[in-house]
């Protein structure tokens, strides 16, 4: 889960902005629970393409 769309019950602001201590604490908790939350879909696609390229290179070398 990402904190992009979460709204803080304490200050009614987006949790991603970290306006109050509650927002900042919950944002940190979410990022600690899921280290891959910061990865964007574009980054995941780039990693997948890099993995495929390495697999093709290894197969050609053998």
Backbone φ, ψ for residue 14 (5° rounding): -65, 135
pLDDT at 61: 87
Backbone φ, ψ for residue 7 (5° rounding): -115, 135
Tokens for 30, please give them.
């979410």
pLDDT at 1: 56
Q: How confident is the model at residue 4 (pLDDT cuts 50, 70, 90)?
A: confident
Q: Per residue in 23-34, pLDDT tens?
A: 888 888 877 776
* 5 against 57, higher pLDDT: 57
Backbone CA torsion sign across 30, 33, 38, 44: negative
Helices (H), the chain: 21-33, 41-61
Other CB atoms within 10 Å distance of the CB of residue 23: 22
């Amino acid at each position: 889960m990402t904190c992009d769309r979460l709204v803080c019950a304490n200050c009614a602001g987006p949790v991603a902005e970290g306006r109050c201590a509650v927002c900042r604490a919950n944002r940190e908790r979410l990022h600690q629970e899921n280290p891959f939350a910061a990865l964007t879909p574009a980054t995941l696609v780039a990693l997948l393409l890099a993995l495929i390229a390495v697999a093709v290179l290894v197969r050609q070398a053998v």
